[in-house]
Structure 1
């Protein structure tokens, strides 16, 4: 029999059942410093093979007597775990999993045995599954993988297949994030290309952005290291566009417009790119809100040195950039793509093929999906621990006109 240890630091999230509550600390060591009974800690893992599993909870610190309610909604499991100061490994009994899929285990402190002056609830380090014959039947984010990217969830992409890739000067895409699918941390990237990306983000409860970034030809994650001859230079910008440098995922020039875009509306994105005769290319981004105007809003134009290129490698992606929100589903539709070459001729977009990042390819997370809806266009979906779909890496999607 195999014992499987699922770390909270890689696989758990917190929610609050009240309007305000104190926040626990979720780190790679686990869940610490929580004493509010309104907090719910949820841990997720995927079971591929139905069966009976013994479960227990491992803690490295128990400051006081406490009681936790442990529940698994999908199998109507409820258990009250009583900790005392010498209970570092506590049996939670046996569960029977009848169907493959994601399991959510919730932990909530109760008022029983509570004395706030005597410390926090037990630190949550690992959930242990035992009495399993097949270790490979359980999927979760491993300690050998990045907790940051594991908790963010998988990123998913669509690469557009054009009937001609030659000298594409303009590309158009329409983006619709459905109502209730616009969680904080969402980046619905509309038009990516070999040298940058352009799309819309949910940055906080009160701020949303239209973001356009262009990478420097110098490979570095530190923008301060970019030499002058490799610097992406701003040509011009829209009236309210904010200009920054960016790093960590390559480096270059960043421009964004704070804009209150709304879920359920189809916004239009336009990207223009062309080479100069002086050894650089210029890339320009435009955004249209059809509920406000039929005119495009100019975001910015960037000059990329050591580049002689039109638009190439055209794609879209959906990601979550907030690791605290990886337990919330996201979805986006992409529709009405159009490409125009340097002679003004329209180039047909024939199909799109589906890919994903390492979080999915290394099977740390299985909550990803993509496809085509002939009414709303191509779609991408990720995060939220929905059950595994049949979509495969490299699947090709074709819209019926």
Structure 2
């Protein structure tokens, strides 16, 4: 039997039960500077085998005597954990898990103790499951994995299979994010290709973008290191498009339009790509809001050096780029795909295959899904610690024409 420590720094999130809160800090060391009783700390782990599990809390600093309500609503579990500075380890009882799935554990500081000392609630380092018979029965984001990517959650992809991949010059796609599925950090990438990506983002509570980026042929995460001969060059841009360079996940040219797109609308995306002169290829992105106009507007057109290519490796994906919001589920539909080759002939899109990133591949997170709806199109879902369906890596989805 083994004790399993589930680190808060990799598996916890915070929310507020009041209009405003003084937020705590969740870092790799755990939860600290937690003094507001309106803050709710949520920790998640997956149990593959039903049974009884003993739980304890491990702290690395208890500043004062304090009481914390520990609850698991799905099994009506509530426990008032009383900390004192004499112990960093506190047993909080046993839970009975009836079926495999994610367990959501909530922690909320209380003010019920009389004459408590001023200060923060205990630092939360790990939730400990004691004497676990099968270590593979418990899955969570472990300390050998990136806390950043683990808390972001898994990214999921649709890889389009075309009747022919020869000299595809245009590709169309429609993206709908359903109402209430548009959390901050959402990026629904409508059209990805070998050299870039094009889609819609939720950047904050007040800002949303239509984003189009093209990678440089030079492999570096630092845009300042890109040689002039490898620089992606702007050809033209839309009236209100913002132009930048980007780094961290490769480097290249970035263009985006700040645009108040809304959930529930099927927005249209068009990408064009073809070889140009002097060893360049030109890639141009266009966007249409069907509630405003029938016309597409230009986001930007970029020249990529050392490239002679049409569009290939066409795909879509759904990701969360905000680690603080990895506990909120997202969903997007992708519909009415169309490909046009260099002779202006339409090429059929036959199907889409499902794939995911290393976060899911290493089973750090299991909250992902994908499939097809004959009315709304292909769909992807991720994050939120829901219990996934039976979808597997490489599954093929075929949309039946109605």
Matching residue of 2:19: 19
Unaligned runs of 5+ in 2: none
**Which secondary structure state, in structure 2, belongs to the residue aligned with residue 136 of structure 1?**
helix
Shift of 1:277: 3.1
Matching residue of 2:389: 389
CA distance in 2, matches of 1:115, 1:341: 75
**Which secondary structure state, in structure 1, belongs to the residue aligned with residue 392 of structure 2?**
coil
Matching residue of 2:360: 360
- Residues 367 and 388 in structure 2, CA contact (< 8 A), matched pair in contact too: yes
- Residues 194 and 312 in structure 2, CA contact (< 8 A), matched pair in contact too: yes
Which runs of structure 2 are paired with 1:92-241 in the superposition (5 Å)?
Answer: 92-113=92-113, 118-241=118-241
CA distance in 2, matches of 1:59, 1:256: 44
- Residues 288 and 296 in structure 2, CA contact (< 8 A), matched pair in contact too: yes
- Residues 174 and 266 in structure 2, CA contact (< 8 A), matched pair in contact too: yes
- Residues 158 and 316 in structure 2, CA contact (< 8 A), matched pair in contact too: yes
Distance 1:115 1:277, change over 3 A: farther
Matching residue of 1:69: 69
- Residues 238 and 298 in structure 1, CA contact (< 8 A), matched pair in contact too: yes
CA distance in 2, matches of 1:393, 1:115: 56
TM-score with structure 2 length normalisation? 0.99
Higher alpha-carbon deviation: 123-132 or 253-262: 123-132
Shift of 1:179: 0.2
Moved >2 Å (runs of 4+) = 113-118
**Which secondary structure state, in structure 1, belongs to the residue aligned with residue 151 of structure 2?**
helix
Unaligned runs of 5+ in 1: none
Matching residue of 1:290: 290
Which runs of structure 2 are paired with 1:243-262 in the superposition (5 Å)?
Answer: 243-262=243-262
**Which secondary structure state, in structure 2, belongs to the residue aligned with residue 143 of structure 1?**
coil
Shift of 1:114: 6.5
- Residues 35 and 116 in structure 1, CA contact (< 8 A), matched pair in contact too: no
Shift of 1:33: 0.3
CA distance in 2, matches of 1:76, 1:119: 30
TM-score with structure 1 length normalisation? 0.99
**Which secondary structure state, in structure 2, belongs to the residue aligned with residue 118 of structure 1?**
coil
CA distance in 1, matches of 2:278, 2:272: 18
Q: Please list the CA deviations of residues 98-150 of structure 1 after superposition, one character each: whole Å capped at 9, or x if unmatched.
A: 01000000000001227686210000000000132111000000000000000
CA distance in 1, matches of 2:18, 2:311: 49
- Residues 52 and 132 in structure 1, CA contact (< 8 A), matched pair in contact too: no
Q: Please list the CA deviations of residues 266-285 of structure 1 after superposition, one character each: whole Å capped at 9, or x if unmatched.
A: 00000000001321000000
CA distance in 1, matches of 2:108, 2:134: 30
